[in-house]
Amino acid sequence: MRRDEGVWSIPKGEYENEDPFSAAKREFKEETGFDLPQGEFLKLAPIVQRGGKEICAWAVEGDADPEKLKSNPVRIWGKEFSEVDRGGWFGLEKARKKINSAQVAFIEELLVSLK
């Protein structure tokens, strides 16, 4: 809660016996509570975060009210927490500062593809 820049992230998670696109759709629902919008999904180039974790992502046009975000619960140290504490919409400059630095590449690629 104290740090806000560079710590925001897209919905993501682990997968083993599942293709990455199916895992991404499942994680989106679990972490936000929102149904995926209908539309054409754009596969973005995978990135590798500082810790070595590869992240695959897709983009689709949609809208969701961050105030209605409802994340699934996780249990840590015997206590239950929401996996995601909040969501938000930001302008480009603010989004680039808030998102995990490796994930900025997703924003940049999406901007190029929208031109």
Q: 114 vs 5, 91, 108, 109, CA distance in Å?
A: 25, 16, 10, 9
| 2: in domain | no
Pairing of strands 79-82, 73-76: antiparallel
Neighbours of 100 (CB within 10 A): 17
Is the per-residue pLDDT at 28 higher than 90?
A: yes
Q: What is the mean pLDDT of the chain?
A: 92
* pLDDT for residue 115: 84
Per residue in 61-103, pLDDT (tens digit) is 999 999 999 998 889 999 998 888 899 999 999 999 999 999 9
Least confident of 5-14, 20-29, 31-40: 5-14
* pLDDT for residue 2: 63
* pLDDT for residue 100: 94
Q: What is the pTM of this model?
A: 0.87
| 29: in domain | yes
Query: In terms of residue numbers, what domain contains 60?
Result: 20-114
| 78: in domain | yes
Question: How many structural domains compose the chain?
Answer: 1
| 82: in domain | yes
